[in-house]
Amino acid sequence: MDFHFSEEQLQIQSIARDFAQKRIAPVAAEFDKSGEFPLENIQEMGKLGLMGIEVPTEYGGAGMDSISYVLAMIEIAAADCAHSTIMSVNNTLYCNGLLKFGSEEQKNKYVTPIASGEAIGAFALTEPQSGSDATAMRCRAVKQPDGSFIINGKKSWITSGPVAKYILLFAMTDPDKHARGITAFMIDTAREGFHRGKTEPKLGIRASATCEIEFSDYRATPDEVIGEEGHGFKIAMGVLDAGRIGIASQAVGLARAAYEAALEYARERKAFGAPIGSFQMIQQKIADMKCKLDAALLLTLRAAWAKQEAAKNNGRFSTEAAVAKLTASEAAMWITHQAVQVHAGMGYSKEMPLERYFRDAKITEIYEGTSEIQRLVIARNETGLR
């Protein structure tokens, strides 16, 4: 693993940091308050290559590597978690899945507009009754004599669902086969039979629109099947490995923002005639925050490196991704908690961003595999036992 970043990697990091600090940070609190989807910012991010960092240039992306993606995600998340959530779904769950398993025609049609920022993509796996247990899904896709599929059912907690043009959907085509009976489809949200539910009133990442979606006799054509019929669960799990690196990056960026705010406050705030950063209890918090932040960053970079290595030999990077996601998300939750404590009453006020960081951090321990699921993945991979 090389700890030296290339000129290209540093360039995309700089582009992301500049945009995040000039365009996102000044409006993050207002978007959090209103819950409005930041469409204009997302479109601009697309023009900068941030919505398809690992997507080849011929499909509208930046044509860069996984390390570049991590560096850019961290910068966006440090300014606002909601923007980085939209960026993460577009990059790792939507574009990554189609690049790995889609046909050439599907890549041209469905990846290009999303990677370029012209449209928004989404990923639909979770259902009202099946979160961690994806094989319990009830959304059904019944094959017709002409090869098309009639889809009925609901999906919940769909990030970017209220605004997405295309959605990568997973539906059961053969219930008797359980996991091997799941198939992936590309959904056009403008087609008859697709319905969006209300936008969810979330605790955090409020500007990243989330909703339930429903299918009522929606017809998917044979050329809208992604990969092979019955390979949907394999596709979903592979995509989630990459997605976990995105959430780990998001958590690192958020944790860094909270840590830097706490560090600055500890230097400036005085009590009993001295900066509070000179008190041992505050120093202990600062030291522990720094250790957890650095560990999360390095494990996330290792996971991105492992993903790049795995691509060379068609290998897996599940453990590295799960370790990074688990460590970074729990570090973000802990660091934001401590940062609020360092700020005391001011940390509880909406006049400062700490309370937003705190609310945003919680979701990183839940979506794209809860902390409990990450521990399960890691332990099973290490022991070889199921």
pLDDT the model gives residue 319: 97
Residues in CB range of 148: below 8 A, 6 or more apart: 219, 220, 221, 222
Q: Answer yes or no: same fold for 122-230 and 233-383.
A: no
How do the residues of the chain divide into helix, strand and coil, expressed in percent and rounded to 5?
60, 15, 25
Taking alpha carbons only, the member of 125, 115, 178, 181 closest to residue 149 is: 181
**Tokens representing residue 114 in the block:** 């999303």
Torsion of CA 74, 76, 77, 80, to 10 degrees: 160
CATH topology assigned to domain 122-230 = Butyryl-CoA Dehydrogenase, subunit A; domain 2 (2.40.110)
pLDDT the model gives residue 1: 59
Domain boundaries, the chain: 7-119, 122-230, 233-383
pLDDT the model gives residue 2: 64
Is CATH 1.20.140.10 the right assignment for the domain spanning 233-383?
A: yes
Known catalytic residue at 355: no
| Identified catalytic residue from 200, 212, 320, 368 | 368
Taking alpha carbons only, the member of 327, 328, 323, 309 closest to residue 249 is: 328
pLDDT the model gives residue 131: 75
Return d(Cα 303, Cα 70) in angstroms, integer.
10
Q: Is 280 exposed, middle or buried (0-12, 13-18, 19+ CB in 10 A)?
A: exposed
Residues in CB range of 224: below 8 A, 6 or more apart: 185, 186, 187, 188
pLDDT the model gives residue 231: 95
> In angstroms, what is the C-alpha Rg of the chain?
21
Is CATH 1.10.540.10 the right assignment for the domain spanning 7-119?
A: yes
The per-residue pLDDT string of the chain (386 residues; one tens digit each, 9 = 90 and over) reads 567 999 999 999 999 999 999 999 999 999 999 999 999 999 999 999 999 999 999 999 999 999 999 999 999 999 999 999 999 999 999 999 999 999 999 999 999 999 999 999 999 999 998 877 877 899 999 999 999 999 999 999 999 999 999 999 999 999 999 999 999 999 999 999 999 999 999 999 999 999 999 999 999 999 999 999 999 999 999 999 999 999 999 999 999 999 999 999 999 999 999 999 999 999 999 999 999 999 999 999 999 999 999 999 888 999 999 999 999 999 999 999 999 999 999 999 999 999 999 999 999 999 999 999 999 999 999 999 98
Return d(Cα 155, Cα 181) in angstroms, integer.
17
**Tokens representing residue 262 in the block:** 């706490």
Return d(Cα 197, Cα 201) in angstroms, integer.
12
